[in-house]
Chains A and B, each alone.
Chain A
Amino acid sequence: GDSVTQTEGQVALSEEDFLTIHCNYSASGYPALFWYVQYPGEGPQFLFRASRDKEKGSSRGFEATYNKETTSFHLQKASVQESDSAVYYCVHSGGSNYKLTFGKGTLLTVTP
């Protein structure tokens, strides 16, 4: 069945560190892939998307490239800030075109 796997449950970094959160998906067809970010007490916020192989999505310094061969969509940021501390979700939109499948989320904590 459709699924999204985020390898890291928690990531702790210092400001200006490089961030990678690994995401692999399993889906039939050609899903759209998304990253969402959720701050405490709020709903998930759309970060960016990619819809086809080799497409790069990016926003606010975060980026990820759709890789159909490795079924991955890893999130990266070159230099994190304390304000980036939040939970990050890798999501795909499967064949129904609306049913979003969420990963379990990765809690990013950035200390000054």
Chain B
Amino acid sequence: GALVYQYPRRTICKSGTSMRMECQAVGFQATSVAWYRQSPQKTFELIALSTVNSAIKYEQNFTQEKFPISHPNLSFSSMTVLNAYLEDRGLYLCGAREGGAEVFFGKGTRLTVV
């Protein structure tokens, strides 16, 4: 079956530091990878969408300078949160799909900023 692994599951970083999270697709080719943030209020925000052979597209309020993303092959993606502050806390989710199929999500990386 199609699975998406994310790591680390939890991370704590000091305010102003950076942290990197990774996403691995197993059992399918991740032609598209989207990174979301789920707030403590449970709402989902799309950060950016990466599609093979296309430029990474960031949503309004999110920038490459703050959330650089790498999608080097059809099974892996990573995202870094640079200079993390309190408002960056939340559950970061990687959603991957092959072509136009449904999106499979990882279990998320929970970021706490202290």
Q: A residues engaging B (CB < 8 A)?
A: 34, 36, 41-46, 49, 87, 96-100, 102, 104-105
Question: Are A100 and B107 neighbours in the complex by a CB distance under 8 Å?
Answer: no
Most buried by B among A42, A44, A99, A105: A44
Q: B residues engaging A (CB < 8 A)?
A: 4, 6, 32, 34, 42-44, 46, 49, 51, 91, 93, 95, 97, 100, 102-108
Question: Are B43 and A43 neighbours in the complex by a CB distance under 8 Å?
Answer: no
Nearest chain B residue, comparing its CB with the CB of A44: B105
A41 to B110, CA, bound (A): 9
A44 to B51, CA, bound (A): 21
Question: Are B97 and A45 neighbours in the complex by a CB distance under 8 Å?
Answer: no
Known contacts being A43-B6, A44-B93, A105-B42, is A100 close to B108, with CB within 8 Å? no
Main SS class of interface, B: strand
A54 to B93, CA, bound (A): 31
Question: Are B105 and A43 neighbours in the complex by a CB distance under 8 Å?
Answer: yes
Main SS class of interface, A: loop
Question: Are B103 and A99 neighbours in the complex by a CB distance under 8 Å?
Answer: no
Residues of B within 8 A of A42 (CB): 107-108
Question: Are B43 and A104 neighbours in the complex by a CB distance under 8 Å?
Answer: yes
Tell me the minimal C-beta distance from B13 to chain A in angstroms: 20
- Our pick among B6, B91, B103 for the contact of A100 (Cβ within 8 Å) is B103
Question: Are B46 and A46 neighbours in the complex by a CB distance under 8 Å?
Answer: no
Closest 3 CB pairs of A and B: A43-B105, A102-B44, A43-B108
